[in-house]
């Protein structure tokens, strides 16, 4: 039986040859390839881009570079991967989970307003599945309340909002390049911002806080006599990772187009089923990382049975994501309730989506999903 994978890295000979080139040169750390990749990303976004070890590190460094830490609070939707929460709490700040909009499944600004305190310093909108919701409203909310905006755009590389590429505008925007994202560098991520102070801090923070070490590393050197004035981390990107990312960026237009066409095909085949609700996304603008549907009447147990049935047909599915306010580490019994997240979470199911998927694969997934939903 053919296995239709939920997600996968989509690589070719170009990436393999690029990695072998780095191995042959025997300089694997942060160096020329990272500098080149950053330059390409800076051209892509038309703003300063800094590469780091992963998307989680990108958010952590962005939060820290804004001067946010112990005693501070950051607003973030509960419906996101725990990595986003861990990135905030790693700085000593407290991630404050917020409810979501029932249509977009992104942060509900009205709910966030109820959770603001004098300690709130930032808001992290999560661009769920690749969409961005009403981003203007998020920035209006942030301006009104004096907050930094740190966009978690791990799902949204390539997405366009009102004619502008995500990352080309706004306060601070963080991307992930892990193995299954819209482009990959194996692992990796980047931070994009026009705030030069934040950008320079991040460059030092990713190299253990060693001041002004980046340019030396790019030329194959390093600092021996240096100063450190803040807590830093070993969060730099490697040349091996950057070599993969450079080749992936070349292929991105074709991969983005494939993701869009597959998502549109899902929409076409599922939109007329009463028990399956598709998410409102304009795939002429949104480059989807994952494809999520809501299935009416599901609870967690029924969803597991549905997944098992699809698995028997060779179809992998996923759950994006378990709400963070339900996790022991982030649970707060005194917090306001999360009625929309609590209602919607058991109904969510993620279907296969990646550039190596075929239209025939999508047709088969939709056929089996509708049949399974109808029979339950």
Q: Give pLDDT, residue 21.
A: 98
Structural domains of the chain, with CATH:
13-98+105-246 (3.40.640.10), 252-375 (3.90.1150.10)
Q: Give pLDDT, residue 348.
A: 98
Over residues 60-97, the pLDDT tens digits come to: 999 999 999 999 999 999 999 999 999 999 999 999 99
Q: Give pLDDT, residue 206.
A: 98
Q: Give pLDDT, residue 131.
A: 98
Query: What is the residue-averaged pLDDT of the chain?
Result: 97
Whether the pLDDT of residue 188 is over 90: the answer is yes
Cβ-Cβ contacts under 8 Å for 107 (sequence gap 6 or more): 75, 76, 77, 98, 100, 101, 123, 125, 126, 133, 138
What is the CB neighbour count within 10 angstroms for residue 164?
12
* Cβ 150 vs Cβ 167: under 8 Å: no
Q: Give pLDDT, residue 1.
A: 83
Q: What is the CA radius of gyration of the chain?
A: 21
Over residues 134-156, the pLDDT tens digits come to: 999 999 999 999 999 999 999 99
CA 360 to mean position of chain CA atoms: 28
Q: Give pLDDT, residue 269.
A: 98
Over residues 240-279, the pLDDT tens digits come to: 999 999 999 999 999 999 999 999 999 999 999 999 999 9
Whether the pLDDT of residue 113 is over 90: the answer is yes
Whole-angstrom distance, CA of residue 176 vs CA of residue 57: 9
Q: Give pLDDT, residue 300.
A: 95
Q: Give pLDDT, residue 209.
A: 96
Over residues 281-329, the pLDDT tens digits come to: 999 999 999 999 999 989 999 999 999 999 999 999 999 999 999 999 9
Whether the pLDDT of residue 111 is over 90: the answer is yes
Over residues 329-354, the pLDDT tens digits come to: 999 999 999 999 999 999 999 999 99
Q: Give pLDDT, residue 136.
A: 98
CA 73 to mean position of chain CA atoms: 21
Whole-angstrom distance, CA of residue 62 vs CA of residue 198: 7
The DSSP code sequence of 269-290 is HHTT-TTEEE----TTT---S-
What is the CB neighbour count within 10 angstroms for residue 360?
9
Whether the pLDDT of residue 376 is over 80: the answer is no
DSSP state of 181: S
């Amino acid at each position: 039986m053919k296995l239709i994978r939920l997600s996968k890295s989509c690589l070719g000979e170009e990436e393999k040859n690029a990695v072998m080139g780095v191995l042959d040169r025997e300089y694997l750390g942060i160096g020329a390839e990272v500098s080149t990749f950053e330059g390409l990303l800076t051209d892509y976004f038309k703003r300063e881009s800094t590469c780091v070890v992963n998307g989680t590190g990108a958010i952590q460094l962005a939060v820290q570079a804004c001067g946010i830490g112990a005693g501070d609070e950051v607003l973030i939707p509960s419906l996101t991967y725990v990595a986003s929460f861990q990135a905030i709490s790693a700085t000593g700040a407290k991630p404050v989970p917020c409810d979501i909009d029932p249509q977009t499944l992104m942060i509900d600004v009205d709910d966030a307003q109820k959770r603001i305190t004098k300690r709130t310093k930032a808001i992290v909108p999560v661009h769920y599945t690749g969409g961005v919701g009403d981003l203007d409203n998020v920035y209006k909310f942030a301006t009104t309340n004096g907050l930094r905006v740190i966009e978690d755009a791990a799902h949204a590389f390539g997405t366009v909002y009102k004619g502008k590429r995500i990352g080309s505008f706004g306060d601070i925007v963080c991307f992930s390049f892990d193995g299954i994202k819209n482009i990959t560098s194996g692992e990796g991520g980047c931070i994009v911002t026009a705030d030069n102070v934040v950008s320079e801090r991040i460059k030092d923070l990713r190299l253990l806080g060693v001041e002004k070490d980046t340019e030396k590393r790019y030329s194959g050197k390093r600092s021996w006599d240096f100063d450190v004035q803040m807590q830093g981390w070993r969060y730099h990107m490697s040349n091996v990772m950057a070599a993969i990312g450079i080749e992936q960026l070349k292929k991105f237009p074709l991969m983005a187009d494939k993701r869009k066409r597959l998502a549109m095909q899902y929409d076409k085949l599922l939109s007329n089923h009463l028990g399956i609700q598709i998410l409102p996304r304009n795939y002429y603008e949104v480059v989807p990382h994952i494809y999520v549907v809501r299935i009416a009447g599901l609870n967690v147990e029924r969803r597991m049975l549905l997944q098992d049935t699809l698995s028997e047909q060779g179809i992998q599915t996923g759950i994006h994501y378990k709400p963070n306010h339900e996790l022991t580490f982030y649970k707060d019994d005194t917090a306001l309730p999360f009625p929309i997240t609590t209602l919607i979470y058991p109904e969510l199911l993620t279907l296969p989506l990646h550039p190596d998927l075929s239209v025939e694969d999508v047709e088969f997934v939709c056929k089996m999903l509708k049949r399974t939903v109808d029979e339950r």
